Chain A
């Protein structure tokens, strides 16, 4: 019999019940809760008189709606009354149902997918869900993690389980030395460019290979975060020494004897050598360049040395029409060199790229330089209050503000523009977020997804540039 994949192991370890028709009940170890996808779930519990199965398995924090400026007044300071009500409703629901919550004025508040690993609330071997598609992030720690809808949020609150059918196994292997200037973000964008936004539909993806192992745990989170952009609900990376080192000593991490026992148990969280995957994809890290998206889907991506593709060269008529539509929306002509695309705004943040290493990387490019005068707004939004605190301790905030970036309070911010941070119609943004959909960052706004380094370099140059050249030659630090 063939060995098991990491996904098989995580699945088997949480299987509560399997029906004759193949539908399964899977036990969920952790649920993360935020204000947007939970109110109707709590309302459902109230209407049916159901209780929360295990309150301590949940952790809540508001992130989508919170403002990134003027936070002194807390929830009461949210100007938009509808947003304010949603955050107040989360606070009330957490109080009523006894759910642990990091409220807006708590230093630990932030984007759920930054907060939970930071606290050690995401652990290897766990099953973890959240009413947010970027829950795939947590798979970077060797967990089975994916987004769910609000009905499933309620289901997990009430039963600690999820009704699931097992996905197929896909392995994406990236081998070889990661070139200078290439980051986890570029790797995952290159993967999505290769397999497409529906390439992973129906699969759980394990990211493997020497280039993935060489990434830091935070880098692996960036890769797993965008698994959903390739169509797969869950992405994961095998546990290694880096994972253990990352988890050690965090507030929710195992302590005392539990620590040793947990580490021993986690040693098995990798695919067996003889495991068989339903689909294998391989990339050579040496071929990957810094990436920039050119269209309205994350699969519409190009290396910085390339040009906007020409729909006339596309043979598939549905795809060609999609490309034409994307170019019309994004306001670009075919064959425009990527490094000639001018930008209006820069957003460094989101659950993809707002951790301390992301901010350090962006600051290294911004240091001693100035945001171009043609850029109307360049903002840095840390992923959590603790990331912000750490960045300030390292003086990164000063580097950013000296360069002309705005230094903001933690939240989802302009990744999806539910708060006041947004693009105006026609504005073009270099963004470290995860989705370049039409209107995602504001109606009529035009999003180009890039790494933190590439975003910082674009802010200084006023247009996309190859960060590899930039660091050495262009926009010399003063």
Chain B
């Protein structure tokens, strides 16, 4: 997994609550058996005016000029600013894959849906929870100033605005550690292979019907 230590990037505000994973990456693109290539279809139904299907040449498609990602001032944005309950709905990991493939390294919101939040950490994408008031402030500052970029430092758990204002965020230590070093979860778990085997033997003895 790609590590995340520090990142500075243009911030794009997506001003709606309850953005679900169906909106982040619509179902027709879930038919792919690959892990990459979803970025061009990120927010597909909002980003394009025509209906998208997998395998299409997106350069021939009609962009929706009203959608925030299509506005030139946000070109190359890598930090997504969002509202409450971002990533709700389906457990599809294609959602963080699409965000990461598009070029996002971090999503900032007042709250996230559990499964989406968890999936981000498996893909080098940092979800940051800030209080609603701070998020409001970032929304208004990013609207006011073109090229508004945020500096994110995972080590010190802070987001710094262009004016130097700092917002601290909380993060689980284990997840932080894995993200900082780009660690493979499975490899880490397999360090506990003996504990798993001991548990399993005991479990089998007490609940043999779970093993038949």
Q: Does B173 contact A (CB under 8 A)?
A: yes
Using Cβ atoms and an 8 Å threshold, which residues of chain B touch A341?
none
Q: List residues of B (86-133) whose CB comes within 8 Å of A's CBs.
A: 88-93, 96, 111, 113-115, 118-119, 122-123
Report yes or no: A322 in contact with B18, Cβ–Cβ below 8 A: yes
Using Cβ atoms and an 8 Å threshold, which residues of chain A touch B92?
36-37, 149
Q: Does A198 contact B (CB under 8 A)?
A: yes
Bound CA–CA A125/B195 (angstroms): 21
Using Cβ atoms and an 8 Å threshold, which residues of chain B touch A325?
16
Interface residues contributed by chain B, number (CB under 8 Å) = 59
Q: Does A151 contact B (CB under 8 A)?
A: yes
Report yes or no: A148 in contact with B23, Cβ–Cβ below 8 A: no
Closest to A299 in B: B18
Using Cβ atoms and an 8 Å threshold, which residues of chain A touch B34?
39-40
Report yes or no: B115 in contact with A418, Cβ–Cβ below 8 A: no
A27-B200 contact, Cβ under 8 Å, with A123-B209, A163-B189 = yes
- A17, A19, A80 — which one has the most chain B CB atoms within 10 A of its CB? A17
Q: List residues of B (173-212) whose CB comes within 8 Å of A's CBs.
A: 173-174, 185-186, 188-190, 192, 195-196, 199-200, 203, 206-212
Report yes or no: A148 in contact with B115, Cβ–Cβ below 8 A: yes
Residue interface mask A26-40, B partner, CB < 8 A = 1: 010100000011011
Bound CA–CA A254/B212 (angstroms): 8
Report yes or no: B192 in contact with A198, Cβ–Cβ below 8 A: no
Q: List residues of B (116-169) whose CB comes within 8 Å of A's CBs.
A: 118-119, 122-123
Report yes or no: B17 in contact with A318, Cβ–Cβ below 8 A: yes
Report yes or no: B31 in contact with A16, Cβ–Cβ below 8 A: no
B190 is contacted by which of A132, A159, A265 (Cβ under 8 Å)? A159
Bound CA–CA A248/B45 (angstroms): 46
Q: Does A382 contact B (CB under 8 A)?
A: no
B93 is contacted by which of A17, A23, A149, A319 (Cβ under 8 Å)? A149
Q: What's the nearest-Cβ distance from chain B to residue A29, in Å?
A: 5
Closest to B31 in A: A82
Report yes or no: B91 in contact with A131, Cβ–Cβ below 8 A: yes
Using Cβ atoms and an 8 Å threshold, which residues of chain B touch A150?
35, 93
Using Cβ atoms and an 8 Å threshold, which residues of chain A touch B96?
149
Q: List residues of A (110-141) whose CB comes within 8 Å of B's CBs.
A: 123, 125-126, 131-133, 135
Q: List residues of A (427-457) whose CB comes within 8 Å of B's CBs.
A: 435, 437-440, 443
A197 is contacted by which of B35, B88, B207 (Cβ under 8 Å)? B88
Q: Does A258 contact B (CB under 8 A)?
A: yes
Q: Does B30 contact A (CB under 8 A)?
A: yes
Bound CA–CA A284/B35 (angstroms): 46
Q: Does A89 contact B (CB under 8 A)?
A: yes
Using Cβ atoms and an 8 Å threshold, which residues of chain A touch B51?
443
Bound CA–CA A14/B210 (angstroms): 12
Using Cβ atoms and an 8 Å threshold, which residues of chain A touch B211?
56
Q: Does A262 contact B (CB under 8 A)?
A: yes
A16-B199 contact, Cβ under 8 Å, with A82-B55, A325-B16 = yes
A297-B18 contact, Cβ under 8 Å, with A159-B196, A201-B114 = yes
Closest to B84 in A: A198
Q: Does A147 contact B (CB under 8 A)?
A: yes
Closest to A30 in B: B210
Report yes or no: A231 in contact with B88, Cβ–Cβ below 8 A: yes
Q: A22-B174, A152-B122, A154-B186 are in contact. List 13 more A-B contacts (CB 8 A).
A: A16-B192, A21-B174, A40-B33, A133-B91, A149-B93, A149-B115, A198-B113, A318-B83, A322-B18, A416-B22, A435-B20, A435-B90, A438-B23
Residues of B within 8 A of A (CB): 15-18, 20, 22-23, 26-28, 30-35, 45, 51, 54-55, 83-85, 88-93, 96, 111, 113-115, 118-119, 122-123, 172-174, 185-186, 188-190, 192, 195-196, 199-200, 203, 206-212
Residues of A within 8 A of B (CB): 14, 16-17, 19, 21-23, 25, 27, 29, 36-37, 39-40, 43, 48, 50, 56, 64-65, 80, 82-83, 85-86, 89, 123, 125-126, 131-133, 135, 146-152, 154-155, 158-161, 163, 165, 197-198, 201-202, 228, 231-233, 253-254, 258-259, 261-262, 265, 297, 318-319, 321-322, 325, 416-418, 435, 437-440, 443
Q: Can you give 15 contacting A-B residue pairs, CB < 8 Å?
A: A25-B195, A85-B31, A123-B210, A131-B93, A133-B90, A135-B91, A147-B115, A148-B91, A149-B93, A318-B84, A418-B28, A438-B45, A439-B22, A439-B26, A443-B26
Q: Which 3 A-B pairs have the closest CB atoms?
A: A254-B209, A151-B122, A149-B93
